[in-house]
Amino acid sequence: MGASAIILISLLFSFFFSGMEIAFVASNKLQIHIESNEESFAGRLFSRIKNSPIRFLGTMLLGNTLALVVFGIFTARVLAGLLASFTFSRIGVLAIQTVITTSVILVVADFIPKNLFRFSPNRFLKIFSLPCIILYYLLFPLTAIVLFLAQFISEKIFKVNLFRKKSNFNQLDLYSYIEEHSAIREGQGRETKSEVQLFRNALAFQNVKVRDCMVARPDVLALDIAEGTEKLKEKFLQTGYSRILIYKGSLDNPLGYVHFHNIFKSISSITSMLIPVPVIPESMPAKDALRMFMQQHKSMAVVIDEFGVTSGVLTTEDIIEEIVGEIKDEHERNSLLEKQIAPGEYSFSARLEIDYLNQKYHLNLPVSHEYNTLGGLILYVTGSIPKPKDNFTIGNFNIRIISATPNRIEQVQLSTLKQLPKN
């Protein structure tokens, strides 16, 4: 076999090993873990990667090193013969050899394969699984010796265990796996939006704060303890809610909450029915609030801001809805009004959430952590509860109050303003 053929083959091997090395590093470890049980060459390769990732990576690095050594030796010989007819000094020949071999290695055996294999790492691991398995076993004895020496040096000198088991995959791998396979299933005409959204919500849940899922203060269903049990029964029957917060004087002085089933007991006062309510800050992670609910066997908490003022109420249902979507209360009778009257004109309950309206109707209403609902947006902009038939503009929307009470906005009519053509 000629020197040129050996140079080409060694360069191809270096291309292969370098590409497989970066494919391993950039691969989705969860997908490798799942596909390692398949009865195929790819399954066997993934099984080796799953069981001994350091050994696999060491094999790729060793193979690449051997290929580059062979490439360097034979390239130097060929270039020495070609440069013999020129009057270059030994240092000049060495410099030319170094520049040419280094340039070829950087482009062909490093830059191109690493950028190519990084584009779809798991796919390339599958495609080249057969040659990779063969080379893995061929280089196994030499790899074992090299890894033994590396482990000995790292443990004795650096006190580091190279073979310490680590987590094979992380949250990002799970998210990538879900996105990739949902795209494949959608391409096959299978509906996956709800399942994918559920996984997305679950993955994002650790970053959710209490302020993101609480019921804002204007929408809190509450009763002053001075109004008595008859008013409480009436409120339960009118609203269909299962829990009502009880306060004294104002929401900033919460006393507890009453559960629906207690009103049927022969109890003379609200005080005897009160269930103590925890007070939590807006900034508390929702996962910690859920843990608190389970530990204390509570289902409602009062949320306060940094000034100690009541900003809303949080229930277990509010937290769970962040993951699984909207949950209908067992006593809820009437759905919130949402109706498109004409193109660009809508009739909405003020209790509808901004995120929901933006997603469903593509409205692009202003979003802020200061409010969650349409009514909250209006109160945030106006600074007070408007009266029925009041009109005002928020951004690109004209809003007309259809109905409101002294304590809350009930129904609004929202119209998008027509954009004037630019000159």
| Most confident by average pLDDT, 28-37, 141-150, 411-420 | 141-150
Question: Is residue 141 helix, strand or coil?
Answer: helix
Q: Judge whether residue 34 has pLDDT over 70.
A: no
Q: Count of CB atoms within 10 A of residue 187's CB?
A: 8
Terminal alpha carbon distance of the chain:
74
Kindly state the DSSP code that residue 208 receives in the 8-state scheme: -
Domain 210-324 of CATH type 3.10.580.10: yes
Look at strands 215-216 and 338-342 and give their pairing.
unpaired
Give which of 368, 294, 355, 322 is closest to 205, Cα–Cα: 322
Tens digit of pLDDT for each residue in 114-160?
999 988 888 888 888 888 888 988 998 998 898 888 888 887 787 77
Higher pLDDT, 353 or 193: 353
pLDDT at 422: 43
pLDDT at 66: 94
Tens digit of pLDDT for each residue in 171-195?
555 555 555 555 555 555 544 555 6
> Model confidence at 69, in pLDDT bands (50, 70, 90)?
very high
pTM score of the predicted model: 0.46
- Strands (DSSP E) contained in 215-350 are 215-216, 222-224, 243-248, 250-259, 279-281, 300-304, 310-315, 338-342, 345-349
pLDDT at 331: 42
- Dihedral of CA atoms 228, 233, 236, 238 in degrees, nearest 10, equals -110
Over residues 96-103, the mean pLDDT reads 90
3-class DSSP string for 88-128: CCHHHHHHHHHHHHHHHHHHHHHHHHHHHHHHCHHHHHHHC
- Dihedral of CA atoms 198, 204, 210, 212 in degrees, nearest 10, equals -80
- For the chain, helix, strand, coil in percent to 5 are 55, 15, 30
Residue 209 and residue 306 in contact, taking contact as beta carbons nearer than 8 Å: no
Residue ranges matching CATH 3.30.465.10 in the chain: 330-416
Tens digit of pLDDT for each residue in 203-243?
677 788 999 889 888 888 899 999 988 888 888 877 767 88
Number of H helices, E strands in the chain: 17, 12
Fold adopted by 330-416: 3.30.465
Residue ranges matching CATH 3.10.580.10 in the chain: 210-324
Q: Judge whether residue 112 has pLDDT over 50.
A: yes
Residue 399 and residue 392 in contact, taking contact as beta carbons nearer than 8 Å: yes
Q: Count of CB atoms within 10 A of residue 255's CB?
A: 19
Rounded alpha-carbon distances, angstroms, from residue 200 to 47, 173, 287, 405: 28, 13, 15, 38
Q: Which has the minimum average pLDDT: 50-59, 186-195, 287-296, 312-321?
A: 186-195
Q: Count of CB atoms within 10 A of residue 80's CB?
A: 14
